[in-house]
Amino acid sequence: MVLADHDISPQDRDDRRRRDYPKGYGLTFPVADYRPWDIDPEFLRLFEAVRAHTKLDVYRAYALYTLGQQAAKTAGAVLEVGAWRGGSAAILASVTQPRTVYVADTWQGVVKAGPRDDYYKGGEHADADIDTVEALFRSLGLSNYRLLSGIFPEESAERIEAEQIFSLVHIDVDVYQSAKDATEWVWPKLVVGGTVVYDDYGFYGCEGVTAYLHELMQDQRMRVVANLNGQALAMKLC
């Protein structure tokens, strides 16, 4: 099985092409020839199983898949904040076994939208529930996960053991304050060399997350890399 170039519908692609983007935004078409996901049968099987449960395209999904494989070789658990229907968390849990993957979401849509966010007002992406996520994990035979329901970190982080450390964190929360609060909670618990992946850096409508990553780029404790699939990675240096 070879995946199509984009995991978006033709209608969505046409809508993006017609969009009146502000300065600094517009469709990007990076050119590269190596497509390792096409020759990775385990990834193809996994992505096919979760693709109805995630908004990630194949590029971002494969990035998480490979980062998860690397994190499995180091000490520390995995955390995802903002899970929707659980697809990306299931990818992480599949490749980091037996390490625990903590999966945090309100399952009531976006929270903490504020003045730094141009598009989100709160409540978006509420078309998911914790039972759907649980069913997905069970269908894949996964048991190395814990679901944390509630606003993170205020309502759900207390269910994570105080001494827990993390090697990989995926933050997919769409808005500035949620990204900031999740980062500030997890950073002291991140191992040196650990990585925080921000799903929303390069997407129109998530300007609050983009602004927050630009703030992090001034932090000497980390190295921040923004890639052209829309994600940004913050790696702990010390």
d(CA 230, CA 59): 9
**Coil vs helix vs strand at 162:** coil
Please, what's the b/e burial string for 183-203 (b: 16 or more CB within 10 A of its CB; e: otherwise)?
Answer: bebbbebbeeebbbbbbbbbe
**Coil vs helix vs strand at 224:** strand
Q: Could you tell me what percent of the chain has a pLDDT over 70?
A: 92
Question: Could you tell me which residues come within 8 angstroms of residue 19 by beta carbon, excluding any fewer than 6 positions away?
Answer: 204
pLDDT at 19: 72
In the chain, DSSP finds a helix count (H) and a strand count (E) of 7, 7
d(CA 206, CA 52): 22
pLDDT at 4: 35
**Residue pair 201/209 in contact by the 8 Å Cβ criterion:** yes
d(CA 228, CA 29): 9
d(CA 236, CA 190): 7
**Residue pair 160/80 in contact by the 8 Å Cβ criterion:** no
Please, what's the b/e burial string for 91-130 (b: 16 or more CB within 10 A of its CB; e: otherwise)?
Answer: bbbbbbeebbbbbbbbbebbbbbeebbeebeeeebeebeb
**Which residue type sits at 151?**
I
Domains within the chain, CATH numbers bracketed = 55-236 (3.40.50.150)
Ranges of the chain with pLDDT below 50: 1-7
pLDDT at 6: 38
pLDDT at 57: 93
Phi-psi region of 90 (alpha: psi -120 to 50; beta: other; left: phi over 0): alpha
pLDDT at 22: 85
pLDDT at 227: 83
pLDDT at 2: 36
